[in-house]
Amino acid sequence: MRDGQHEWQEATINDFVPPVYVYHIRDQQPGKPLVNELKRYYGMLPAVVELFSQAGAPVEKIYGHTMRDVVVPDMDEEKWVV
């Protein structure tokens, strides 16, 4: 590549359909809504992987770094969190 000219690159599926990431909470308590201020504690997965994990399929280890194993404090414990 010279003088600002560009070469063609092979496209991937993510170029046409970018992956959508959704929040993944391992042990969400039923009936309690997610708190927007605590979203940094929630892990994220591609939406397709999250769908299959909720159906009971095992999640591969390559997604382990995106799933955070952090316990979100309850609202009554929030005052004790530093």
* Contact yes or no for 39/13 (Cβ under 8 A): no
35-79 pLDDT tens trace: 777 777 777 888 888 888 889 888 888 877 777 655 555 666 566
Taking residues 22-45, what's their average pLDDT? 74
pTM above 0.75, yes or no: no
